[in-house]
Amino acid sequence: MNIIEELLSLKIRHHGCEDTWYSCPKHPDGYANKGRGTECDCGADEHNDKVDAVIAELVLLQVKIHREERDSALRAFSDALEELGIEDELMRRSGMCLVGGMVV
């Protein structure tokens, strides 16, 4: 299951009615009651904003997990180099250096 696609499928459209007097002002087919303004009054914008916020949090969480996994792998790599006693030679040849166990 692609969680982001599932979340996107939860988004809703603005309320539309055959009698456009009752349609949301943001419905793409328009609305007849101009006295209602131009803002969504059917709840779709509020609902979809919450879906977007959940998706944004999920993406940030995935990025954080990816960074933690990467940092953990780099620390393990650094430890392995240290155990082999070739850390200095490898860093010298590669032009990289270790700062606090991190390759930079």
What does the binding site for Zn ion look like in residue numbers (CB under 5 A)? 14, 24, 26, 40, 42, 44
By residue count, the chain amounts to 104
Smallest distance from the beta carbon of 13 to Zn ion, in angstroms?
8
Smallest distance from the beta carbon of 5 to Zn ion, in angstroms?
23
Of the pair 43, 101, the CB lying nearest Zn ion is at 43
Smallest distance from the beta carbon of 44 to Zn ion, in angstroms?
4
Smallest distance from the beta carbon of 45 to Zn ion, in angstroms?
6
Q: How many CA atoms lie within 13 A of 88 on its CB side?
A: 1
Of the pair 44, 81, the CB lying nearest Zn ion is at 44
**30 to each of 16, 41, 43, 49, 104, how far by Cα in Å?**
8, 13, 16, 21, 56
C-alpha torsion sign, points 94, 99, 103, 104? negative
Of the pair 24, 98, the CB lying nearest Zn ion is at 24
> CB under 8 Å to 37, separation ≥6 — which residues?
25
Of the pair 31, 98, the CB lying nearest Zn ion is at 31
